[in-house]
Structure 1
Amino acid sequence: MSTHSKPYSGLKASLLTQHGKESIICPQLFDSNDLEVIHVSDYDTDKLGSFTRDIPRYGSQLDAARKKARVGMELSGLKLGIASEGAFDNDPYTGMFPWNYELVLLIDDIRNLEIIGFFGGQAQSASQLVSSWDELTALLSEAQFTTHQLVIRPDDEYHPECRKGIKDLESLKEAFEWATKLSKKGNVFVENDLRAHTNPTRMANILKATQDLSRKMNSLCPECEAPCFWVTERKKGLPCASCDAPSNLPLANIWSCVKCNYKKEEVIANQAKADPSKCNYCNP
Structure 2
Amino acid sequence: MALLTQHGKERVIGPELRAVLGCEVSRVDGFDTDQLGTFTRDVPRAGTQLEAARRKATIGMELAGLPLGVASEGSFGSDPFTGMLAWNTEMVLWRDAGRDLEVVGVAQGTARFTHVTATDWAAVEAFAPRAGFPDHHLVVRPDGESGPHPRKGLGTWEQLREAFEDAKAESTGGQVFVENDLRAHAHPSRMENIRLATADLAARLASTCPRCTTPGFWVVDRVPGLLCELCGTATRQPVADVHGCLRCDHRDTRPRPGPARADPATCDYCNP
Q: TM-score range by the shorter chain?
A: over 0.9
Question: Offset of 1:260 from its aligned partner?
Answer: 1.2
**Partner Cα distance (1:72, 1:277) in 2:** 48
**Partner Cα distance (2:163, 2:61) in 1:** 38
Could you tell me the percent identity over the aligned residues? Answer: 49
Question: Offset of 1:237 from its aligned partner?
Answer: 1.3
Question: Offset of 1:223 from its aligned partner?
Answer: 1.1
Question: Offset of 1:242 from its aligned partner?
Answer: 4.2
> Is residue 121 of structure 1 aligned with residue 98 of structure 2?
no
> Is residue 238 of structure 1 aligned with residue 235 of structure 2?
no
Going from structure 1 to structure 2, the CA distance change for 1:18 and 1:245 (only over 3 Å counts) comes to: same
Deviations 1:217-241 (A, max 9, x none): 1101111110011112222111223
Secondary structure at the aligned position of 2:66 is classed as coil
Secondary structure at the aligned position of 1:36 is classed as coil
Secondary structure at the aligned position of 2:42 is classed as coil
> Is residue 204 of structure 1 aligned with residue 192 of structure 2?
yes
**Partner Cα distance (1:242, 1:170) in 2:** 60
Question: Offset of 1:39 from its aligned partner?
Answer: 0.5
Question: Offset of 1:111 from its aligned partner?
Answer: 2.0
Root mean square deviation, CA, Å: 1.3
Number of residues of Structure 1 aligned to a counterpart in Structure 2: 272
**Partner Cα distance (2:229, 2:133) in 1:** 50
- Aligned equivalent of 1:277: 265
Deviations 1:34-61 (A, max 9, x none): 1111110110000000111110012110
Quick one: which amino acid aligns to residue 250 of structure 1?
Answer: P
Secondary structure at the aligned position of 1:129 is classed as strand
Question: Offset of 1:88 from its aligned partner?
Answer: 0.4
**Partner Cα distance (1:266, 1:37) in 2:** 32
TM-score (norm 1): 0.92
TM-score (norm 2): 0.96
Secondary structure at the aligned position of 1:42 is classed as coil
Q: Which of the residues 130, 145, 157 maps onto 1:157?
A: 145
**Partner Cα distance (1:29, 1:270) in 2:** 26
Secondary structure at the aligned position of 2:129 is classed as coil
Q: Which of the residues 122, 128, 138 maps onto 2:126?
A: 138
| Dislocated runs of 4+, deviation >6 Å | none
Q: Which of the residues 155, 158, 166 maps onto 1:170?
A: 158
Going from structure 1 to structure 2, the CA distance change for 1:141 and 1:18 (only over 3 Å counts) comes to: same
**Partner Cα distance (1:100, 1:51) in 2:** 12
Deviations 1:51-72 (A, max 9, x none): 1111001211011111111111
Unpaired runs of 5+ residues, structure 2, are none
Quick one: which amino acid aligns to residue 232 of structure 2?
Answer: D
Q: Give the stretch that moved more between structures: 265-274 or 36-45.
A: 265-274
Deviations 1:195-219 (A, max 9, x none): 0011111101100000001111110
- Aligned equivalent of 1:6: none
Quick one: which amino acid aligns to residue 186 of structure 1?
Answer: G
Quick one: which amino acid aligns to residue 230 of structure 1?
Answer: W
Secondary structure at the aligned position of 1:105 is classed as strand
Q: Which of the residues 29, 32, 48 maps onto 2:17?
A: 29
Question: Offset of 1:269 from its aligned partner?
Answer: 4.9
Q: For residues 79-94 of structure 1, what are the structure 2 equivalents within 5 Å?
A: 79-94=67-82
